[in-house]
Structure 1
Amino acid sequence: MGDLLASIYPWTKSLHIVAVLTWMAGLFYLPRLFVYHTERVTVGEPTDELFQTMEMKLFKYIMNPSLIAVWLFGLLLVFTPGLVDWWSIWPYTKGAAIIAMTWFHMWLGIRRKEFVAGTNARSGRAFRMMNEVPTILMLVIVFSVVFKF
């Protein structure tokens, strides 16, 4: 199995990077949609339905498949022999940040359902602040992998 993973490593790494990029795009954009949805739209308006459609399609058709691909290709990389030094700290900081980013993804999914139900109680400011979460986690992940401390 190790030989197979080593032989497909360039493909696995490339697909992992593409999946991370698409997932991050969604993690950055969906909270921004929530800001505009909260600040500019009244529940029940045609625009409310439009925002709900955009949010659902982004979450269901881009973010969810990207999340699955990130985990799939990431785990294949973890099991590729010689890539991870388990005596270092970086795999654990990266892993913790990925788990936190996955939690954030799920949190966004719950917020989206609140918009559908017409029960969103958060302000645009709250969504702006939460929009910083993926940036911070991304920095932890990138610096962990590049510097391998």
Structure 2
Amino acid sequence: MLWVKAFHVVFVISWFAGMFYLPRIFVNLAMEKETVATERLLLMARKLYRFMMMLSIPAVGLGAWLLWDWYLANGGAMPLWLHVKLALAALAIGYSHACGSLLKKFEMGKNQRSHTWFRVFNEVPVFLLIGIVILVIVRPF
């Protein structure tokens, strides 16, 4: 099971790296006026989004495996910290999909949000990751 945990952590870190950087590209896209630069940023964003979503699949799959192992080992009992951690993981999945929706808006030229909004949006995965790590390591409740 340690191999499953190790690879789960590797894929989660890689997935979150994409979630940290993709919204930063959105900040630049929201500020950019030049067509050539916009096209370059969109290309980068598309590639990063695909890569990020590819990494999320094994991260979630291995997490489900770990959850199933926990469930079997503990007779189905799930402490509160684990419920909250799963809720934060679900929010991370939703955030990833929201990034895809925002990318589509940029591709269609229909973004209505400012670079300031994207700067705030960019911080969400940091708080998700902090919460998830604290819940898994400290298990405060």
TM above 0.5: yes
Q: Which residue of 2 aligns with 1:40?
A: 32
Q: Which residue of 2 aligns with 1:96?
A: 87
Structure 2 stretches of 5 or more lacking a match?
Answer: none
Partner residue of 2:49 out of 42, 53, 59:
59
Q: Which residue of 1 aligns with 2:99?
A: 108
2-side partners of 1:142 and 1:107: how far apart?
22
Give CA deviations for 1:83-125 in whole Å, capped at 9, x if unaligned: 7983421110100000111111111100000111011111110
Q: Which residue of 1 aligns with 2:115?
A: 124
Q: Is the 8 A contact 2:23 2:121 kept in 1?
A: yes
> Number of matched residues?
138
Structure 1 stretches of 5 or more lacking a match?
Answer: 1-8
TM-score norm. by structure 2 comes to 0.91
Offset at residue 71 of structure 1 (A): 0.7
Q: CA RMSD in A?
A: 1.6
1-side partners of 2:58 and 2:3: how far apart?
13
Offset at residue 10 of structure 1 (A): 1.8
TM-score norm. by structure 1 comes to 0.87
SS at structure 2 position matched to 1:120: coil
Give CA deviations for 1:17-74 in whole Å, capped at 9, x if unaligned: 11011111000000000001111334xx1111111110000001x2111111111000
1-side partners of 2:68 and 2:125: how far apart?
25
